[in-house]
Structure 1
């Protein structure tokens, strides 16, 4: 199923922050993880992710650093840009998660009657 850009746009930042709250990740790893966790329902591309990462970095929600890939990784020794959630990013994620839950309940209360 294809989702409209308007529906996707508001979900990118909170989803990225939620994944980075688990551990630091590089961009392509985030894309693969979203695709896997959503069972392929969301097929993010670089054009979806990287502008959001840059905005969140500018807003102080995350930081980025070039780091070597772990020795057990396919690209051992290769440098990748890893993104790390900041304290401000964690606080933002907590607010967004609460808002998302309330919004989803409100939308479901209306939409599930129709579906």
Structure 2
């Protein structure tokens, strides 16, 4: 009696990162909002051209960043929350670790 292994299909849409135009979605929308604000507030050709150049440069940088690691900004934000040094507490009189959840 031969038993085959059960196969469960894992669809690509469940595993792929949430990218927009090859960039992280939040960062792309934020840079678009900032440059659009620059263009709308200034209302002249110099600001419009500057906004398009800034947005194009940001999109190129964000695409390169997402190509290296699609979750790089989230990893960096988690990284800066860590302390630079965690001292060892080897005595029984050391204060215990206190855990708190952020909400």
Decide which structure has the larger Cα Rg and report it: 2
Higher share in helix: 1
Query: Fold conserved (TM > 0.5)?
Result: no
Higher share in strand: 1
- Structure 2-normalised TM-score? 0.31
